[in-house]
Structure 1
C-alpha cells in the first residue's frame, strides 16, 4: 500500500498538491457567495456562508464608490485589497480579475467574483475547484459556489436574487444565501456567514461607509443569526430615524419610527427605554410613564441609569417629574 501511495505521488503534479494544502496566506474557504450591485441605488455588496470559521474575514471585500470582491475556494486573501485597488485605479471588473489571475500560480483552485461601480461583473471558477463547483453571472451580479452538496446551488441563488428585485440590496443578498442553503449548501454543513453593503458613491469618510457590515463567525445556524443581526440593525435604524424626527419636532414621525423598531423587537428594553426618555424630554411624560414602569420592573438598573441622565443633559424633565419617574 505504501509503495502505491509513493507511486501515486510521483506522478501527481507537486504544484497541485502544494496548492491544495492549507496555507496561512491562502486559507480554505469552500463556500457559496454573491456579489451584486443595485442598479437603482448604486449600492454594492457581497454575502457569503461556509462551513469554515470566520469566513467573512477571508472572502468578502467591498468599498464605497469602488466595488465588491468575493475570493474563495483556496482563498487568495490579497485579491480583496488588490482587487479593490485595481478597481479604484479605473480598471473594469474583468480587467481586474485578469490582472489578479495573471501571476497567480494557484489560479486553478481559485474562485473569484467581482462587481465594479458600473455594474460590470467578472467571475472565475478554477478547473480544480472541488465539486460541485460553478457560477452564474447575471445582470449586475454573480453567484458562485464550490464544494456544494448538489449542483443546484448557483441556479437557486440567481433565481432568488432576481425574484427579489425591488427589495433593498441587503435583503436580496440574504435571500440568495437562504436559497443556496435550501438547495443543499456546503457539503460539510454550516458554520459562519457575512454580509457587506456599501454606497455606490464615496463621501470621503471611509470610516462611515458601510451601510451593512455583519459577521457570524461561529454558529450552528449562521444564516439564521445573520438575519437576526440584520433585522436588529434595521430596528436600530428606525430608532435613529425617530431621533432625527424629534430634532425636527415631528413627534408623529418619531413615534412611528420608534414603534416600528419596538414592533420588530418587543422584548428589547433598550429601545423601549430610550423611546420613553425621548417622550419625557418632549413633554409627553404621561405616555412615557407606563413604558418606563415596564422597563424598571424588568431590570432595576434602568432606574439607576435614569438618576444619572439629568447631570449630562440627557433627561430634561423638572425635579418633580424626575421624582415621579423614580417613584415608579
Structure 2
C-alpha cells in the first residue's frame, strides 16, 4: 500500500565539522501515513509499512540511539515479530543500511538497497516504482537543493511510474522527515517535518506545503534578523 525512501548524506556544517543528515519520505493510498510509517532522529531513519507495525519504527529509532547498528536493530525487532512475513521494514544509520520485505506482502512488493539509501514498496503497479524512486534520488544525491525537496522529487518519480495500484482508493497521504547530527540551539528548518494527511493529490500537495513552509521559514529568519540589528 506504500512506497518509501530512507537516505543518509554526509556534509560539512558552517563550522567546518563533518555531519550526517538523515531523511525519510513516504506516500500511500490511505490517509495519515505520516503518523505511522516514517521515523527519523539524529541517529538514522526508518520506514515501517505493509500491515504496518508502528512499534518497529519507534523501537528501531530507540535502538539506534542506544548504539545498535541499523542491521542489528531492525533484524532483532523482526525476529521478535510474529507478523514479520507481512511487514516491510527498511532504514539507514550513520554507517549501514537494512531492508526487509516479508513473503506475504501484497504484490507487487520489493525493495532496493543503494549506496546511502533504501527504497521499498508494496501493492505497487510493478518494480518500476521502486526503481524510479531510486533513480530520481541518485540523480540529485549531490545536489544543492534541500534534502526535503529532493525526497519529494523521488516520491514524485514513483508516483509518475504508477505508484500504489489501488486506484479505487482516491484518498491518499504523504510525509517526510529530515534530521541531522548538528548540535546547539539552531532551530531546525520548519520544512524538514511535513505531512499531508488526506488528499487526492498527495505529491503535489506535499510539494506545495514544502514551498509554503520554506517561504515562511525565510520570512521568519528575515523578521528576527531585523529585530536583532
Normalised by the size of structure 2, how large is the TM-score? 0.88
User: For 1:71, what is the secondary structure of its paired residue?
Assistant: strand
What is aligned with 1:127?
Answer: 103
Higher helix share goes to which structure?
1
Q: Which residue of 2 aligns with 1:37?
A: 8
Report what 1:200 is aligned to.
181
Cα offset, 1:76, TM superposition:
0.8
Q: Equivalent of 2:89, from 109, 112, 117?
A: 112
Q: 1:235, 1:204 → 2: CA distance?
A: 21
Instruction: Tell me, in whole angstroms, the C-alpha distance in 2 between the residues paired with 1:46 and 1:210.
Output: 16
| Preserved contact between residue 203 and residue 209 of structure 1 (Cα < 8 Å) | no
- SS of 1:43's partner is strand
If the length of structure 1 is used for normalisation, what is the TM-score? 0.63
Which consecutive unaligned segments of at least 5 residues does structure 1 have? 1-29, 250-328
Structure 1 residue ranges (4+ consecutive) displaced by more than 3 angstroms after TM superposition: 201-205, 207-211
The answer (yes or no) to whether the contact 1:198–1:211 under 8 Å persists in 2 is no
Give 1:42 deviation, angstroms.
Answer: 1.6
* Bigger RCO of structures 1 and 2 (CA < 8 A, at least 6 apart): 2
Shift of 1:211: 5.6
Change (3 A) 1:208 1:179: closer
* Contact 1:71–1:112 under 8 Å retained in 2: yes
- 1:50-89 equivalence runs, <5 A: 50-63=28-41, 65-89=42-66
* Higher Cα Rg, which structure: 1
Quote the residue 2:113 is aligned against: 137
* Structure 2 unmatched runs, 5+: 12-18
What per-residue deviation string (whole Å, max 9, x for no partner) do you get for residues 1-38 of structure 1?
Answer: xxxxxxxxxxxxxxxxxxxxxxxxxxxxx200011122
Distance (Å, rounded) in 1 between the aligned partners of 2:91 and 2:59: 12
Cα-Cα RMSD: 2.0
Q: Which has the higher strand share?
A: 2
Instruction: State the aligned residue count.
Output: 217
1:280-305 CA distance string (max 9 Å, x none): xxxxxxxxxxxxxxxxxxxxxxxxxx
